[in-house]
């Protein structure tokens, strides 16, 4: 009897964010993690997307719970936090520091990190907007992380792409986000698969 090699475990993607990726007021199958997993499987990737997003979360809240979220490990974190910091007028320097620490925690656990960026409105003035908008590209450049510049690109202000609040993505809006971010996720997964194959051949 021929013994077959054990099948490799699916790559684990941790969607770590707030209501924008948690699936606020949407059926479970319409959430960002669910739609992204379906897209990846359709494209031939053996990956599981874990919904570790919490509606209303800030970067400070994310930092407080990141150890728990990563308790079972993973391969890739999609870090989507900062929108609530912006809406609440938090100091951009504190937001940056919290994100930096979350990235550090993920890296310590051996996960790659993909940054999902956010852009500020001008409610708290142009200086605050400028400082906030610089957070994600700066972190991406300094830490060498892939960046999806604006998580809500093609969603905000587009008919049918948001719920009635005009901010949270609808099912169609989530599909638009997934279409935009999936190529970057798949590039990260290709890199992870290459690392796995290289480690197995040693």
Positions marked catalytic:
19, 165, 168
User: Using CA atoms, how far apart are residues 189 and 11, in angstroms rounded to an integer?
Assistant: 8
Q: Give per-residue burial for 132-150: e unless 16+ CB within 10 Å, then b.
A: bbebbeebbeeeebbbbeb
Among 32, 181, 164, which residue's Cα sits nearest to residue 115?
181
Tell me if 57 sits within 8 A of 200, measured CB to CB. Answer: no
| Cα separations in angstroms, 172 against 4, 23, 194 | 42, 12, 33
Lookup: tokens for 167: 């901010």
Tokens 């169609």, residue?
172
DSSP string, 19-56: HHHHTTTS-GGGSHHHHHHHHHHHTT--EEEEE---TT
User: Using CA atoms, how far apart are residues 160 and 185, in angstroms rounded to an integer?
Assistant: 25
């Amino acid at each position: 009897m021929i013994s077959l090699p054990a099948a490799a475990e699916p790559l684990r993607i941790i969607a770590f964010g707030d209501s924008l990726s948690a699936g606020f007021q949407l059926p479970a199958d319409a959430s960002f993690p669910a739609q992204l997993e379906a897209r990846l499987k359709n494209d031939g990737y053996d990956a599981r997307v874990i919904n570790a997003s919490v509606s209303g979360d800030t970067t400070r809240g994310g930092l407080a719970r990141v150890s728990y979220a990563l308790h079972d490990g993973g391969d890739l974190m999609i870090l989507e936090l900062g929108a609530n910091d912006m809406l609440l007028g938090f100091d951009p320097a504190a937001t940056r520091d919290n994100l930096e620490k979350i990235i550090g925690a993920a890296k310590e656990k051996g996960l790659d990190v993909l940054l999902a960026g956010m852009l500020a409105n001008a409610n708290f003035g142009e200086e605050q907007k400028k400082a906030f908008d610089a957070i994600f590209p700066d972190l991406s450049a300094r830490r060498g992380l892939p960046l999806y510049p604006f998580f809500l690109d093609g969603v905000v202000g587009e008919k049918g792409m948001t719920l009635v609040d005009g901010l949270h993505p609808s099912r169609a809006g989530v599909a638009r986000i997934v279409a935009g971010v999936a190529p970057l996720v798949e590039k990260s997964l290709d890199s992870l698969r290459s690392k796995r194959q290289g480690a197995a051949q040693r």
